[in-house]
């Protein structure tokens, strides 16, 4: 099956997670399939940001984006070679509009593919890596074996670790579900303002970079505990 071939190919190229989504409910016409691709952030990098953003985290933020761009471009070409159309949603292709939104968000493709859910922090969370991942996606007309969409948060109602740790007080503590708009439980403007302040104070970079909600997430901590000794490469 093409789904198995594509997943095997992307994993062989370095993807940490791969999922397939039915995008029909988003109003997609011919390009009805989404390919979600995740790369995990190395354990030692996550552990290093307990005191805030640093140069190593800054490097890996961009390095993982670069690797994801290569993965989705390579995956899109793999699909084209099978005779289908494909759009790689690279960092240069995806454009933000309005309040830091995109047309077909990577996180939406990921939840529809069944890879995970949206946490209280508005980050994508997975069972295996917590929120210690970067995402990208491919849009295609190739028929795929779709995963089961995740429609609601799997975060414990009583867990407020990301809310309590957020230096920008951007997290309300409300649980996500697929009917809930992001701005109803998370304030991207507060997050951006504080993250940029911290990045400038710590590493003199004008970039939105914090990572505290990633580091304190219980699912991320589980990933760290089970992968001690695995370092960045």
Q: What is the domain count for the chain?
A: 1
Instruction: Answer for the pair 117, 154: CB distance below 8 angstroms, yes or no.
Output: yes
Q: At what angle do helices 55-81 and 2-12 cross, to 10 degrees?
A: 150
User: Could you tell me if residue 233 is inside a domain?
Assistant: no
User: Could you tell me if residue 117 is inside a domain?
Assistant: yes
User: Could you tell me if residue 231 is inside a domain?
Assistant: no
Q: At what angle do helices 55-81 and 188-203 cross, to 10 degrees?
A: 120
pTM assigned to the model: 0.92
pLDDT tens-digit readout, 8-22: 999 999 999 999 999
Bridge partners of 16, per DSSP, are: none
Q: Which pLDDT belongs to residue 49?
A: 92
User: Could you tell me if residue 184 is inside a domain?
Assistant: yes
Over the chain, what is the mean pLDDT? 92
- Which residues form the domain of 64? 2-226
User: Could you tell me if residue 178 is inside a domain?
Assistant: yes
CA distance 21 to 189: 29
User: Could you tell me if residue 120 is inside a domain?
Assistant: yes
Given a cut of 70, is residue 232 above it in pLDDT?
Answer: no
């Amino acid at each position: 099956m093409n789904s198995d071939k594509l997943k095997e190919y992307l994993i062989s190229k370095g993807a940490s997670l791969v999922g397939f989504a039915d995008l029909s409910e988003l109003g997609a016409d011919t390009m009805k399939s989404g390919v979600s691709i995740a790369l995990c952030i190395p354990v030692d990098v996550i552990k290093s940001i307990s005191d805030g953003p640093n140069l190593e985290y800054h490097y890996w933020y961009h390095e993982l984006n670069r690797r994801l761009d290569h993965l989705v471009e390579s995956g899109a070409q793999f699909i084209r070679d099978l005779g289908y159309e494909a759009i790689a949603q690279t960092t240069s292709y995806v454009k933000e509009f309005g309040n830091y939104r995109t047309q077909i968000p990577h996180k939406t493709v990921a939840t529809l593919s069944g890879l995970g859910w949206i946490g209280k922090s508005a980050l994508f969370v997975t069972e295996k890596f917590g929120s210690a991942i970067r995402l990208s996606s491919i849009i295609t007309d190739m028929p795929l074996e779709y995963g089961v969409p995740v429609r609601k948060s799997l975060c414990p109602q009583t867990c407020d670790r990301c809310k309590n740790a957020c230096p920008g007080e951007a997290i309300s503590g409300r649980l996500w579900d697929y009917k809930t708009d992001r701005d109803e439980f998370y304030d991207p403007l507060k997050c951006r303002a504080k993250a940029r302040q911290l990045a400038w104070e710590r590493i003199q970079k004008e970039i939105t970079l914090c990572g505290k909600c990633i580091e304190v997430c219980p699912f991320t901590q589980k990933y760290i505990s089970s992968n001690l000794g695995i370092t960045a490469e």
